[in-house]
Structures are given as C-alpha cells and as structure tokens.
Structure 1
Amino acid sequence: MADRSRADLDFYAESVRDVWYADRPLADAVERVRLLERFPELRPNEEGITDVADTYAFFAVLGLRHALPAHGSGNADDAVSCGHAALTAMGMLDQNVAGAALLAEERRLQSLSLGGDAAGLREASVTAGRERFRVVLGRLPRRACS
C-alpha cells in the first residue's frame, strides 16, 4: 500500500471503517475478501517481501483480510485468525522498535473485546492504531524530497 496512487486504498479505508460497525452485517464480506486477496500485498512474488513499508502494508492487509470474515460471523475460528494476525504484527513491531509495548497493548485490547464490556474499546483501539501508525512511520526510510 506504499503507492499512494492506488485506487484500492479507498476500498481498504472503507472496509476498515465498516468492520467497526458490529451492528451492521456486511452482506458483501465474502466479495470484499475476494477483492483484498487481489491486493499485491497478499500476492507473493519471487523476491518475497523485502521492503520495510511493504512488510507493514502486508500485515495491514492481512489483518483486514481476517477481520472481514470475523465481522458478525459468530465464528470463533474467524475471530482467532484475526486476533492472531494482529498479535503477530505487533510482536514483529516490538522486535524492531526498542522499548515498544505494542504486543502487550494488543493483548489488552483483545482481552477487553472478549470481556463483554466493550465500552471505550473503539476509542482505545483508535488511540492504539494512531500509536502503531506513528511507530511504523518512524521505521520507514526517509526519502529525499525532490
């Protein structure tokens, strides 16, 4: 997702927004997964993922790929897959950023979501997401402006 000219960024952003509306079933969740699976981040090439930005983009798309089927399905396997993708991404970030505690925060948020009292969960997740984005931006190589 590093190429800002990509048309699928709007689709990605809309889908992330829509999974937060747990009371609104996603009738097109299967179609959205099919479209996400066409993203280059989920289509390996011979070189694999070698760029820092591509690595984080891969985890972002993978997380949404698992969140869509988990949304409203009631299927525990879908929820576990989604949670596992998020934990893996945060664990990787923690390994690459000195002093980061992103994995612990993701575990806390997942525990809150399972606890039955989701009050404030969206706000806490947005705050955590902003921090994660800041950390990822800090990991990206600086490019000279032309």
Structure 2
Amino acid sequence: MVVDEAVAATLRGQSQVQVAIFVASCAERMTQVFTGLSGGDPARDGDTDVVIRLVEDLWDPVLSPTSFREYVTSLEGFQELEPSDEEIVDVAGIYSFYSVLVLRYAALYRVSGDVEDALKCAHASLTSMGQLDRNLPGVEFFAQEAECQQNAASIPSSNNRDSGLFLSLRESDRNVSRERLAAVQSRLGG
C-alpha cells in the first residue's frame, strides 16, 4: 500500500472522529473531479447530487453510521463500479472511477469504523494522483496528496464542523480539488 507509514500509524491510533475528518478531507479533494467530469451529463444528475450530499455529510464527524449505508449502496450502483470485462482507458472514465472509489471507501469507513477502509480511501487517492503525475509532465499531485494526508491526519479531534480548523482544511481541500479537475480537463483538451 502506498499510504505513508507514519500516516497509517497515526490513523490506527486516532479516535473515530479524527479518522472521520481524515476521510472527509480525502473525499473533498476528489469531489470536484467527479462532479466536473460528470456534472454536464443530465443522466448523471442524480449521481452528482449523491456525491455532493455525501461529502457534506462526511464533514459531520458524529453523524451516525446508518446515515452512510445508503450512500455506499448508491455509489456501488454508479457506472464506475459496475463489473466489466473491459479496462477503463478514457481519461474521464479513469478519474471518475478513482473519485467514486475514494468516496466509497470514505462512506464505508463511516459505516464500519474500520481504519482499513480509511487507508483504502487514502490509497485510492494516492494511486489516482500518481497516475495523473505519470500522464502530465511537470506536476506533483502525488506528493501534494501525500502532504494533504499528513496534514489531515494531524488535525486534532473536534465534533465542531464549523470550527476554524475544519473550515480551513475543507477550503484548502476544495482548492486542491479544483486544481485536480483543471489538470484532468487539460488531459481531455478542454
């Protein structure tokens, strides 16, 4: 697994609230990639709405696990996660897949409370950014993601999603997400 050993060790020693903040942060950094690539398709409006609601709920660290079961079921019905014998080769499909995978593992963590799901969420984010680095010269999205994960893993526990620390982390993650979407769109030529 490509997740930094120190981040993995930190997550394994944290409270569920702290790990919930971590997965929310990972999901936030991939959200605009999904919504930006799928948002213009009327057939995906429902999926986009699910993603937006999920990310908002992920930032509530005390929301009950039952609230996330429906999200997991919804995400598993997305076209990105449907079984297929064909490999995903188009750029939009690849990064939409990774976005949904990150979101699914974030939601799974909130259902199960199993840190391994949080680590899979982090791993999917890193893998996606490593692939983006390989396909765009002169970028360092993998290193940026690793740093973002270190920062999110070190956020102190708080149930107050309106605290300055939460808001600052989330705004930073939104900016990163915008950068990622722009980079993926540049690969699409748009």
TM bucket normalised to smaller = 0.7 to 0.9
Q: How far does the alpha carbon of each residue in 1:43-65 deviate from its partner, in whole angstroms, 9 at most, with x for none? A: 13232212111111101111101
In 1: Cα distance, 2:134 partner to 2:81 partner: 22
The answer to which structure has the higher helix fraction is 2
1:39 to 78, 97, 100: 78
Aligned 8 A contact 2:130 2:141 in 1: yes
| TM-score w.r.t. length of structure 2 | 0.67
The answer to whether residue 68 in structure 2 is matched with residue 29 in structure 1 is yes
Letter in 1 for 2:179: E
CA contact (8 A) 2:65 2:112 kept: no
| 1:125 correspondence with 2:173 | yes
Once residues 21 and 134 of structure 1 are traced to their aligned partners in structure 2, the CA distance between those partners, rounded to angstroms, is 28
Greater relative contact order (Cα < 8 A, sep 6+): 2
1:66 aligns with 2:105: yes
Match of 1:107 among 146, 149, 164: 146
**Structure 1 partner of 2:41:** 4
- Normalized against structure 1, the TM-score is what? 0.85
SS in 2 for 1:109: helix
Q: Work out the percentage of aligned pairs sharing the same amino acid.
A: 37
Unaligned residue ranges in structure 2 (runs of 5+): 1-36, 158-164
Aligned residues: CA RMSD: 2.0
Per-residue deviation at 1:41?
A: 0.4
Gaps of 5+ in 1: none
- Within 2, Cα distance between the matches of 1:58 and 1:82? 13
How many corresponding residue pairs? 142
